[in-house]
Structure 1
């Protein structure tokens, strides 16, 4: 191997992130202390190939199903970034790689410096917490998180209910310079319109009935960190303009105050709704949509991540099993992998919890999985619902839009014979939104 300048070795040694220097034949010529601690604490890596140490591959990454940054750099002539799944003494973990080519006196790429930043929020193996997966859709998701995390850009997470939007928001936060500060979650679907502003921005003493003391809002609590707006499509229209002001200027006012306050927050929003359609219908501000969606990320549904079900099932079972050390039989796992999971990871978790309660042994079999899957298809017996066919509810023309919505919901409740989850899917809303509307319906009926 060619000699390496001691000055370059000294420079790499002083860097806090894992770095290696290797040649065109993938042979490692220098590795700093951070790399040795992370990937090879027991032995030397000098002279070994990078793909052997990091992946346990006998051939370069691009010949083993991975994207090789060295091959990409040779083609582009520039630095390259990729996301890889690396072997470590603690198991497999995702690593964000940045490779920089070094040229010799003739201008040819002679050496390469590779920097590795582990993504601690994601695993390629079962784990107690964090994102778990190995499938290609999952890797694309992680790659987007790794790219946007260090920036200040607002992130909009789009996807079906149960796909793990809060976990991805946590991953964006952990990948940012704000990770040492708070991630504050705002459940937009559960906040009544009358309380939304005071919860978000805080209020002064005497601002409204019951406001006996001044109180900071969630925006203030998140200062320096990340504000996660879950189900942002449920934010009332009057509040959207105030949220827009916060995004554009970083300023807000507490309820009952004229003082303009400043905060430093990074906003991550999430929704299962079609915000573009809501903009077209006038139910969501167009300017707010574009402020929130500086960097949109679409979360893949579980049916597109079938290869991840085994990893997810093992990890979830450890969290929800009725007894320790419960496992899935091969047949049970195969049955899970053939299910469409319209409720995504949340549904998988529920199925595993039910199956663990139904199992008499520590091994969960196909019968228990079938019974657990069948529980979602159960409907309320007809005698409990009444045998009369539902009649249309007449709504006088002078009634408000809210009254019309509640009347339609009342009619659907009378005719629906399935679960609340099925009704929410038919109405195109989340279960939380449905229960909020049911509470409103109960209050409305009693008034």
Structure 2
């Protein structure tokens, strides 16, 4: 039996049930066709000039001619067909507002013989990230970026401690803010503690606060950052720099939620969600005795590795445009072909922070509104001359396809920016799509 073969009353009951769902939801048959949608879906995804009923879900959501798995993406229906269970994936969908990240959960509908007769798909737009330039927050669309975003969506509703790991400049605080914004504590404060360079005494007084007269200069009581974070999220940035002597007190705070101000006797309680970040190898520090093992396991219940910029190279055009607009607003300069070709080839050991610094400097030379190759730092150009690897050669087939789909210029311009010939670009695209 298929979903279409169900009695009309049962189909209507299913549709009525979906109307009580707050999330946008649709009903699919076994052939990917959209049979019904609730009001939330029609409001957020159902553009009036683009009818969706009777169409394939991949046609509406992705503008694909084939199912997602045949277009290089994970298809939750295929996975659910094999598992007979709910499947969840982060996709980028076409919506009336443009392309957006969407958290997709697909559940099979089973008959009395445990056979799949259809599917219900719930879709939740992820507003903490964008595939379009915007004034703040996360931007990206590469697989490496989407993998981290999907992990954040998994962790956000829980209270589990999250450890963000990655090289300097990968945007740990931005990801921490996105995690906080996606959580049930979004209405509470996000308190950031920069652990870099803090002495034992300074770390203790900053985190726990102090009483009047606790030490010279303590002329009044001061609440600590742990107390300030009550009801929200406490973000300990560069936790690998916490002095060893203070790690035991930090562990006690995390495990019991209690602390005392410096110079105080009263035991206070703080209710917060813990997020930590570091670029240091904490496992190696545990082995060397410079980081407590019990603290490491307490903070790393949900580790997330942030990708280096060189691992999400296809995000560079989007990041470049976004950063320039954040730096200069409507007066943001454009990047010419030769400059973009250099920017696409560079490896960015300082990651997004280094890219931002490069662009901030270059725009000061763009008197005519264009950033040119000559405006980029000499060190960048010398590095490329010493190792003239081509950006086009570094992109795999899927990354190249995505870059072509989002590039606003001509194929010749894209080939120039990738450092390859136009003929090579066409040859690679034909190899990926022989039909």
TM-score by length of 2: 0.83
Q: Specify which of 9, 12, 17 is matched with residue 11 of structure 1.
A: 17
1:360 Cα deviation after fit: 2.2
Q: Specify which of 46, 51, 54 is matched with residue 58 of structure 2.
A: 51
C-alpha separation in 2, matches of 1:361 and 1:338: 25
- The answer as to whether partners of 1:322 and 1:357 remain within 8 angstroms in 2 is no
The Cα RMSD (Å) is: 1.9
- The answer as to whether partners of 1:84 and 1:94 remain within 8 angstroms in 2 is yes
1:27 Cα deviation after fit: 1.1
Aligned to 2:272: 265
Aligned to 2:246: 239
Q: Does 1:84 align with 2:91?
A: yes
- The answer as to whether partners of 2:199 and 2:243 remain within 8 angstroms in 1 is no
SS in structure 2 opposite 1:270?
strand
Aligned to 2:225: 218
1:194 Cα deviation after fit: 2.3
1:321 Cα deviation after fit: 3.7
- The answer as to whether partners of 1:51 and 1:57 remain within 8 angstroms in 2 is yes
Aligned to 2:129: 122
1:129 Cα deviation after fit: 1.6
Structure 1 residues 247-273: Cα deviation after superposition (integer angstroms, max 9, x where no partner): 111111111112111111111111111
Aligned to 2:307: 300
Aligned to 1:94: 101
Question: For residues 299-338 of structure 1, what are the structure 2 equivalents within 5 Å?
Answer: 299-321=306-328, 324-338=331-345
C-alpha separation in 2, matches of 1:374 and 1:60: 43
Q: Which moved further from structure 2: 233-242 or 124-133?
A: 124-133
C-alpha separation in 1, matches of 2:25 and 2:259: 44
- The answer as to whether partners of 2:200 and 2:245 remain within 8 angstroms in 1 is no
Aligned to 1:36: 42
SS in structure 1 opposite 2:191?
strand
Q: Which moved further from structure 2: 343-352 or 271-280?
A: 271-280
Structure 2 residues without counterparts, runs of 5 or longer: 385-435
Structure 1 residues 393-441: Cα deviation after superposition (integer angstroms, max 9, x where no partner): xxxxxxxxxxxxxxxxxxxxxxxxxxxxxxxxxxxxxxxxxxxxxxxxx
- The answer as to whether partners of 1:154 and 1:295 remain within 8 angstroms in 2 is yes
C-alpha separation in 2, matches of 1:42 and 1:198: 58
Q: Does 1:161 align with 2:159?
A: no
- The answer as to whether partners of 1:229 and 1:268 remain within 8 angstroms in 2 is yes
Q: Does 1:354 align with 2:356?
A: no
1:374 Cα deviation after fit: 5.9
Q: Which moved further from structure 2: 322-331 or 8-17?
A: 322-331
C-alpha separation in 2, matches of 1:105 and 1:274: 52
C-alpha separation in 2, matches of 1:83 and 1:148: 14
Q: Does 1:343 align with 2:350?
A: yes
C-alpha separation in 2, matches of 1:203 and 1:376: 50
- The answer as to whether partners of 2:209 and 2:225 remain within 8 angstroms in 1 is yes
C-alpha separation in 2, matches of 1:62 and 1:376: 39
- The answer as to whether partners of 1:354 and 1:372 remain within 8 angstroms in 2 is no
1:371 Cα deviation after fit: 4.4
Over alpha carbons, which structure has the higher Rg? 1
- The answer as to whether partners of 1:184 and 1:227 remain within 8 angstroms in 2 is yes
What is the aligned length?
Answer: 377
Q: Which moved further from structure 2: 338-347 or 351-360?
A: 351-360
1:47 Cα deviation after fit: 1.4
Aligned to 1:365: 372
1:375 Cα deviation after fit: 10
- The answer as to whether partners of 1:126 and 1:132 remain within 8 angstroms in 2 is yes
- The answer as to whether partners of 1:322 and 1:353 remain within 8 angstroms in 2 is no
Structure 1 residues 45-71: Cα deviation after superposition (integer angstroms, max 9, x where no partner): 221221122112222111112211111
